[in-house]
């Protein structure tokens, strides 16, 4: 059986900067229509508030798999729309939790490298309205991946995602998130 092609389901940028439990946050990301320019520091029109932990070249983009969002939707008994976890890129057909650090993906007109798992903070708990949710989120390993932009360009919902390089061995995003 041929696997369906991995796709970009949504491109999400900050809708509104909001006050989180401890600081201001740009976690309120929502899908936008059309092509979005991607530079070395992420999506044009997006924002990170606390650049000590978010953003920069090694955390330019945050990707989350729709399959993991579906798992959370069943677990929590609620809808998890694209961008709810603060991700810039919502994917389908790509195992982000099983991706190896150093893996490279071609997404539309850009090339990215998987750099690290997301380390969720209390702002995720505030966004979800569930106390200590960020700790529960981290324990599952279903945290998504931070990406470095190696080639800038444009992305758009519907773009194909191709794994163009996978290291021979290494740590998965899920394993790194769980401290394995």
Is the pLDDT score of 102 beyond 60? Answer: yes
**Closest C-alpha among 75, 81, 112 to residue 96:** 112
Structure tokens at 133: 């949710």
DSSP per position, 91-116? EES--STTPBTT-EEEETTEEEEEEE
Does any domain span residue 1? no
Q: Can you give the CATH number for the domain in which 114 is found? A: 2.40.33.20
Do 121 and 95 contact (CB within 8 A), yes or no? Answer: no
The sheet carrying 36-39 orders its strands as 42-43, 36-39, 153-155
Does any domain span residue 14? yes
Does any domain span residue 128? yes
pLDDT class of 53 with cuts at 50, 70, 90: low
Where residue 136 falls (left for φ over 0; alpha for ψ -120 to 50; beta otherwise) is alpha
pLDDT class of 49 with cuts at 50, 70, 90: low
Does any domain span residue 114? yes
Q: Where are the alpha helices (DSSP H) in the chain?
A: 66-76, 122-128, 133-140, 173-177
Q: Give per-residue pLDDT as tens, 121-143.
A: 888 999 999 999 999 999 999 99
Does any domain span residue 106? yes
Does any domain span residue 55? yes
Structure tokens at 31: 């899908």
pLDDT class of 23 with cuts at 50, 70, 90: confident
Do 84 and 12 contact (CB within 8 A), yes or no? Answer: no
What total of structural domains would you count in the chain?
1
Domain of residue 171, residue span: 6-177
The residues that bridge with 10 in the sheet, in sequence order, are 90
How far, in Å, are 114, 126, 135, 138 from residue 23 at the CA level?
A: 27, 11, 18, 20
Instruction: Report pLDDT for 56.
Output: 85
Structure tokens at 37: 């320019």
């Amino acid at each position: 059986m041929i696997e369906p092609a991995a796709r970009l389901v949504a491109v999400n940028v900050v809708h509104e900067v909001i006050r989180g439990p401890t600081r201001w946050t740009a976690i309120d990301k929502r899908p936008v229509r059309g092509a979005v320019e991607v530079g070395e520091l992420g999506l044009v029109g997006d924002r990170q508030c606390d650049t000590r932990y978010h953003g920069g070249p090694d955390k330019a983009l945050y990707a989350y798999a729709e399959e993991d969002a579906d798992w959370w939707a069943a677990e929590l008994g609620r809808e998890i729309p694209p961008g709810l976890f603060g991700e810039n890129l919502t994917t389908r057909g790509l195992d982000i939790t099983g991706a190896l650090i150093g893996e490279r993906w071609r997404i539309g007109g850009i090339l990215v490298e998987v750099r690290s798992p997301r380390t969720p903070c209390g702002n995720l708990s505030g966004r979800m309205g569930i106390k200590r949710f960020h700790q529960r989120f981290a324990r599952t390993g279903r945290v998504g991946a931070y990406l470095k932009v190696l080639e800038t360009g444009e992305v758009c919902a519907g773009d194909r995602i191709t794994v163009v390089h996978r290291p021979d061995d290494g740590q998965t995003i899920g394993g790194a998130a769980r401290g394995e």
